[in-house]
Structure 1
Amino acid sequence: MRTKLLLLTFVGMSLRMSVFAQSFNNFPVTTQKPPLHAKHWMAITGKPLAATAGAMVFTKGGNAVDAACAMLAATSTMWDVLSWGGETQALIYNPKTKKVIAINAMGVAPTGATADFFKSKGMKYPPEYGPLAATTPGTPGGLLTMLAEYGTMSLKEVLAPAMQLAEGYPIEAQTANSIENGKAMIKQWPYSKKVFLTHSGQKREAPDAGEIFVQKDLHGTLQKMVDAETDALKKGKTRKEAIYAAYDRFYKGDIAKEIARGCQEQGGLITEQDMAIWKVKIEEPLMTTYKGIEVYKMQQWTQGPVMLQTLNMLENFDLKSMGYNSSRYVHTLYQVMNLAFADRDFYYGDPAFGPEEPMKGLLSKEYAKERIKLINPEMNDADVRPGDPYPFENKINPYQNLLQNWGNSQASLLNWEKDKEEKFLEDFTAGTTSVEAADAEGWVVSITPSGGWVPACIAGNTGVGLSQRMQSFVLDERENPFNVVEPGKRPRVTLTPSMALKDGKPFLSFAKQAGDEQDQLLVQFFLNMVEFGMTVQEATEAPSFKTLQMYGSFGDHSKAPGGLILNEAMPAWTRKELAQKGYKLSYQPRTSGPINAIYFDWIRGSMWGGSSNHGEDYGIGW
């Protein structure tokens, strides 16, 4: 008994020490994964083979944008979390201008995708899977635009690792088993069946783990893009012009024609015109400051501003004095995030379409101070609602009637005591990946790409799996008047890369996978470093918690008021105190990510890389 008591005391002391390790950075602290250290470059992503692709490009002289594009191409070829028909969101720090820019490569709703169309099919939301779930492909355009505008290498060089993967790579068990589990749906789509079910008719129809998985059609599509670049270079075009020639072949040439044909053959709506008129947008990101640190996120067609709103509110609390993961700390963050997510659920949408979202009001420090007045320090508010940011723009809210009745028309609430958690959590944490890259010149890239995950509907003979992002639209303006589906519009997505600057220099580049939980875990990661002095690797592994009280962006868009997922390591007294505050508790062994991040140590002239202690995410540095 005495030995056990001493051991527990030591473990408790070790955990407390690890929290403050960055303040005492010579104290040896063990994490489950070692931190990465680099001087010249760093490449981190969700697949080891894809991180290797980034390293290959770096060793050939590419910059961080080149390497990020190589990693994006590789992960898009490996299917577990995205495909070439998905979408890409990126933040890039340009050391020449010392500015952060945003790459909006989200596809749009195709011709005919109206609320009335889906309602006529008896749907409450656009479907989760299949050709009717597809927005126009965005990832190829995003990759090509980033490479043309900010990279240094040719498309042929950057796509080389992905093309080798398409020729055949040893498929991981995680992806292979996803194919097997989704085979009933895959069989509905002939082009998907041809690619995925390599043992059709056998008991196991998916590839085996470690089997060489070949994608001839996809390789052919990538080769066509490279050929377009090569032909343009032969005609005397510049590197940039030649990459855009590949862009045109994908979106206006024979590839686009086959994508549209294959999609429509299987019941989808994407037309050749939809492909031709879609364009990548290079945008100004949104930004707020937290104790002097500039934090950048994508615009309101993503959920990214949730983190900015949350930080604006949290700036008014002494978080450090509460104690890391104390019941008071968890409760405060939970309540603040719920306020921000309620605003997300009602006000966020594509700014290219009216009505105009009230982002100036939502991101004002004064609005944040007004919102936190609603927090009950003793109990969870299971009926948290959107606020009214319009007075903070000196305007009158045109949706007061919708705001007053908000929630009455929305998806059913999950009874956490009775219903099964599995489907809800599957939708809530729907996977993606992240890509982080940085180099000695100062280029920094953070990407959260997604879409076209297994089971995916492949568009004709292109090998390109279509996005499933239409499901993030709503059909009823009473839920969100800014996010009702219409042709040409981008859905309000969960995808949300992050970047922070301090004293005018890159401080952190970070992102994570997994649906609606992204920004709430990114906030906690950020606070782990800024408030509690953790190293970047400690911050990615540290136990986090998850609120389930916002409306989900997938499936039936349900929510679980009071639902709180804690790490299994949370002590009994904290669990008891949180239960007394009205939370419905559940537990997971790992709750931190996967988060991928790069921290810039300007004092020592090096980079630190971190990656959560679950999943396949990791990286390489030099």
Structure 2
Amino acid sequence: MKRICLLVSLFVIASPMMAQQTQKPPLHGKHWMAVTGKPLAATAGAMTFQKGGNAVDAACAMLAATCTMWDVLSWGGETQALIYNPTTKKVIAINSLGVAPTGATPAFFKDKGYNFPPEYGPLAAVTPGTPGGLCLMLANYGKLSLKEVLAPAMEMAAGYPIEAQTANSIERAKERIKGWPYSKAVFLTHPGEKREAPDAGEIFVQKDLLATLTRMVEAEQEALRNHKSRKEAIMAAYDRFYKGDIAKEFVRGCQEQGGLITLNDLAKWKPVEEEPLHVSYRGIEVYKLQAWTQGPAMLQSLNILENFDLKSMGYNSSQYINTVYQTMSLAFADRDFYYGDPAFSPGLPINGLLSKEYAKERAKLINPAQNEPKSGPGDPYAYEGKKNPFTALLKMHNALSDTSVDLNKSFLPKHDAAAILNTPATDQMMAMNDSAYMDRLWRGTTSVEAADEEGWVVSVTPSGGWTPACIAGHTGVGMSQRMQSFVLDSAVCPFNVVAPGKRPRVTLTPSMALKDGKPFLSFAVQGGDTQDQNLLQFFLDIVEFGMTVQQATEAANINTNQLWLSLGGTQAKDRVPHPGEILLNKNTPDSVRTTLIKMGYKPTYGERTSGPVNAIFLDRDHGSLWGGSSNHGEDYGIGW
């Protein structure tokens, strides 16, 4: 019987730059590596590899399992992926983000009293993307059948021991869940009792979801019996979800509860395979999805930081922190105003935004002596030889960004604040901010990383439909809440105003890096607007400071709120940037703390500030795989 290596606690390793204890060991594998947000889901990936699947098959199995486990997402959410194809030696981008449904216009939401689309319920839903994205990836790049890949998820839907994190999240959200009849029937397994959610370890059964997955597999198997190809058979399952009886029940359940999604919306939507964006940082090619995600903000940050000698500053010195903080502020200011669905915005200035010359000009704005609180969007159009068509809107945007905010009551999206419970700290303000931040990191998204000896590498950041989710009829499928990432006012972001058929700009951002034309790193993280902040520093920890992949997943980072929040809130003031706010690790030396305060920063402190990064390092020197998984949350990996 094949042995598997598991991530466990407390291990000491050394790097060329520093000897640093890690709470989890690095994971080593020769044949394959599977890392994701839940131990059982990582096991699903391992099972799929042992069936003979490749990294795409394993990633799809882990994706299906995490959705079934409600790992702060569900089957009605969205999936974004980068795949390295060893045959073509190219990185492929998968865009399976849903779109705004028919009738979703600024006027519709404003007439209902909203200043942003709602956070919860049927009106928060874009069309489901994960089933389509999984089918597309599997059909085009996997080896196994849908039946084989979904087998672990289907077994779990029939009943699995639910873990405390999800069970307690259901209990906290039970009053909202009671407003949705199909969600209530699934989640509240002990109605009328003091605790109505499942207990940790209770066998959690999802009969409707199992029926939905069974129908998809039936469609595939029938197509195979009719002598269809493997790919055609998988896409028959896709069609049953988006055009058949599953679609009809989804739409019926959505509209019954007040949602807008129509059968035509589902039938017209499709996942897209597209070219990723990339920049070179000191000879390493870093890949991200296009500007319907926030991913290019990391690429912009790397372009800016290439103008500085970061290594000489020292890891997390005050000078380094100040440089990285201001760099992220500049990149996210551009994200806040210029990013959106390129299909609706052919004039989106992505070439200017990723120009090295533009980055040099932005780098000149970084003040080495203090933070610049009013760093706003730049003019990337000038680096495309064009005139900026949004000069007037930019002035309005900057005025909105100056909205007065009580910095002692830092805004946090409501869906993130539910788990602020019993955080021990001597300083009450620090405790509030730290626990709120940790909850934001743990909720709303997961990540999936897979690699194999054939050379396939996969990085996925799926999300949407997190608890409390509104389930669409008897499908067992929780609807997305991604509509809230749209805006209703062009002054906030002219490229991200809601419209039917349009994708919202999302925070979801898988990452991949190539060195000498070969895969070097595959990495992703959850955490809303902090994702590309954490991934940027994770990458720099390895490239600039010589950390191993496990050291970098656990290393102390900084986080900034000097940006517009992408989730939650009902007013512009709820999402407006908080200049100078910075989250530091509690072990930050007093000398660094004092210097940063003198430089205009307003710090709070947390025990862990790295973000729950999952990653794979491809060791070309030894022909092996290194897995890394952060030291908090329930993220886990298995390698062989």
TM-score range, shorter chain: over 0.9
Structure 2: runs of 5+ lacking an equivalent: 1-11, 418-432, 570-574
Task: Report if aligned partners of 1:428, 1:553 keep a CA contact under 8 Å in 2.
Answer: no
Residue aligning to 2:601: 583
After TM superposition, the structure 1 stretch with the greater mean CA deviation from structure 2, 132-141 or 377-386, is: 377-386
Residue aligning to 1:573: 591
Matched, 1:529 2:542: yes
Superposed, 1:184-583 pairs within 5 Å as 184-354=175-345, 356-409=347-400, 414-418=405-409, 423=417, 425=436, 429=441, 430-556=443-569, 557-583=575-601
Deviation (angstroms), 1:342: 0.1
Q: Deviations over 1:507-540 (max 9, x none)?
A: 0000001100000110000000000000000011
Deviation (angstroms), 1:409: 3.8
Task: Report if aligned partners of 1:109, 1:134 keep a CA contact under 8 Å in 2.
Answer: yes
Distance (Å, rounded) in 2 between the aligned partners of 1:397 and 1:428: 35
Distance (Å, rounded) in 2 between the aligned partners of 1:224 and 1:154: 14
Q: Deviations over 1:550-585 (max 9, x none)?
A: 100011223322110001110111101001111111
Deviation (angstroms), 1:81: 0.9
Q: Deviations over 1:196-221 (max 9, x none)?
A: 00001111110001100000000000
Residue aligning to 1:23: 16
After TM superposition, the structure 1 stretch with the greater mean CA deviation from structure 2, 488-497 or 353-362, is: 353-362
Distance (Å, rounded) in 2 between the aligned partners of 1:419 and 1:506: 40
Structure 1: runs of 5+ lacking an equivalent: 1-16
After TM superposition, the structure 1 stretch with the greater mean CA deviation from structure 2, 460-469 or 425-434, is: 425-434
User: Structure 1-normalised TM-score?
Assistant: 0.95
Residue aligning to 2:76: 85
Distance (Å, rounded) in 2 between the aligned partners of 1:618 and 1:514: 17
Superposed, 1:38-57 pairs within 5 Å as 38-57=29-48
Residue aligning to 1:617: 635
Deviation (angstroms), 1:350: 0.2
Counterpart of 1:481, as a letter, is: P
Deviation (angstroms), 1:372: 1.3
Q: Deviations over 1:404-433 (max 9, x none)?
A: 221334695542234576848469644310
Distance (Å, rounded) in 2 between the aligned partners of 1:275 and 1:251: 5
Deviation (angstroms), 1:466: 0.3
Matched, 1:149 2:153: no
* Corresponding residue SS for 2:166: helix
Distance (Å, rounded) in 2 between the aligned partners of 1:374 and 1:344: 17
Deviation (angstroms), 1:382: 1.3
Change in Cα spacing, 1:617 to 1:414, as seen in structure 2 (3 Å) is farther
Distance (Å, rounded) in 2 between the aligned partners of 1:76 and 1:593: 21
Counterpart of 2:595, as a letter, is: E
Q: Deviations over 1:235-289 (max 9, x none)?
A: 0001110000000000000001111110000000000000000000000000000
Task: Report if aligned partners of 1:226, 1:246 keep a CA contact under 8 Å in 2.
Answer: yes
Distance (Å, rounded) in 1 between the aligned partners of 2:168 and 2:71: 10
Distance (Å, rounded) in 2 between the aligned partners of 1:218 and 1:382: 48
Residue aligning to 1:602: 620
Change in Cα spacing, 1:544 to 1:362, as seen in structure 2 (3 Å) is same
Counterpart of 2:458, as a letter, is: V
CA RMSD in angstroms, aligned pairs only: 1.6
* Corresponding residue SS for 1:276: helix
Task: Report if aligned partners of 2:401, 2:577 keep a CA contact under 8 Å in 1.
Answer: no
Distance (Å, rounded) in 1 between the aligned partners of 2:440 and 2:391: 29
Change in Cα spacing, 1:247 to 1:324, as seen in structure 2 (3 Å) is same
User: Structure 2-normalised TM-score?
Assistant: 0.92
Task: Report if aligned partners of 1:413, 1:559 keep a CA contact under 8 Å in 2.
Answer: no
Distance (Å, rounded) in 1 between the aligned partners of 2:139 and 2:395: 48
Deviation (angstroms), 1:80: 3.0
Task: Report if aligned partners of 2:341, 2:504 keep a CA contact under 8 Å in 1.
Answer: yes
Aligned residues: 603
After TM superposition, the structure 1 stretch with the greater mean CA deviation from structure 2, 282-291 or 410-419, is: 410-419
Change in Cα spacing, 1:86 to 1:411, as seen in structure 2 (3 Å) is farther
Task: Report if aligned partners of 1:355, 1:482 keep a CA contact under 8 Å in 2.
Answer: no
Distance (Å, rounded) in 2 between the aligned partners of 1:351 and 1:29: 43
Counterpart of 2:15, as a letter, is: Q
Distance (Å, rounded) in 1 between the aligned partners of 2:20 and 2:27: 14
Task: Report if aligned partners of 2:529, 2:565 keep a CA contact under 8 Å in 1.
Answer: yes
Change in Cα spacing, 1:297 to 1:364, as seen in structure 2 (3 Å) is same
Distance (Å, rounded) in 1 between the aligned partners of 2:353 and 2:95: 21
Residue aligning to 1:110: 101
Deviation (angstroms), 1:28: 6.9
Task: Report if aligned partners of 1:415, 1:560 keep a CA contact under 8 Å in 2.
Answer: no
Deviation (angstroms), 1:22: 3.1
